[in-house]
Amino acid sequence: MLFRQFFDAESSTYTYLIASGTGREAIIIDPVKDMVPHYLKAISDLELKLVRAIDTHTHADHVTGLGDLRESTGCSTLMGEFTQAECVSEHVREGDLLDVDGIKLRAVYTPGHTNESFSFVLNPEQPQAVFTGDVLLIRGTGRTDFQAGDAGKSWDSIVDKLFKLPDDTLVYPAHDYKGWTASSIGEEKRHNPRLANTTRAQYIELMNGLVLSNPKLMDIAIPANLACGRLPAGRNKPGLAAV
């Protein structure tokens, strides 16, 4: 399997490019608009054909690369069934299986950070990894205070769904702010300070008590991401086209 992890330093976003090998069809997860030329260079160098670009949820801290990748490669864009982004080509539901040239991803509905967040399990018959978006981070969890987030649903998604995966399943989140690149389900069960030795009620109290500033690009990113990376008319950010 070919696997590449990219990092956008401005938004601390991880993007994942996966294919069964050089010269094969590929999937990309949580691409950042400003990084699209970098992804396209990697895709070209590895002689890949990008066929699906996935967002785990509507991001609030960066503008998605979905639209630009679709325009550049002809790939299909994909999000979960509850997204309000009408621009995407496909929607997945709980349990749907994506198969791209032998790379299999199972869609898992994991609300909490937002009400439309999905995670994706790699090789679901014998799970190798899970791409968790922002619901489960490394030694942390995604905030639950906007975009219809819900601390109780966050707990349920993590504990009742993601933590049911084998302990050696690798965890690849959409963001990291402390220098981690990967974790595992077992590590997060034991060492995640928001989840280990904690009750559901304690977790809800903790998350609801957080006082966090809004992501600096939220007012721009959310409407742009609902349009697959295009800004509504009258909104300006360097490098972004208005529609």
Digit-coded pLDDT (tens) for 54-64: 999 999 999 99
Q: Is the pLDDT of residue 173 over 90?
A: yes
Q: Tens of pLDDT along 96-148?
A: 999 999 999 999 999 999 999 999 999 999 999 999 999 999 999 999 998 99
With cut-offs at 50, 70 and 90, classify the pLDDT of residue 167: very high
Among left, alpha and beta (phi > 0; psi -120 to 50; other), residue 61 is alpha
Closest CA to 72 of 100, 44, 101: 44
- Residue 217's pLDDT is 80
Q: What's the pLDDT score for residue 15?
A: 98
- Of the candidate ranges 43-57, 68-82, 229-243, the one whose mean pLDDT is the lowest: 229-243
Query: Can you give the pLDDT at residue 240?
Result: 36
Query: What is the reported pLDDT for 243?
Result: 23
Q: Sorting pLDDT into bands at 50, 70 and 90, what band is 242?
A: very low
Q: Residue 214 — pLDDT band, cuts 50, 70, 90?
A: confident
Calpha distance 198→203 (Å, rounded): 7
Q: What is the DSSP string of 165-204?
A: S-TT-EEEESB-SSS---EEHHHHHHH-TTTTT--HHHHH
Give CA–CA dist 118/133, Å, rounded.
7
DSSP-assigned beta bridge partners for residue 97: 106
Cβ-contact 72, 233 below 8 angstroms? no
Q: Is-contact 73 43, C-beta < 8 A? A: yes
Which strand ranges, in their side-by-side order, compose the sheet holding 103-109?
97-100, 103-109, 118-122, 129-133, 170-173, 183-184
Whole-number average pLDDT of the chain: 94
Give the lowest-confidence range in 86-90, 213-217, 219-223.
213-217
| Cβ neighbours of residue 114 closer than 8 Å, sequence gap 6 or more | 57, 58, 134, 147, 148, 149
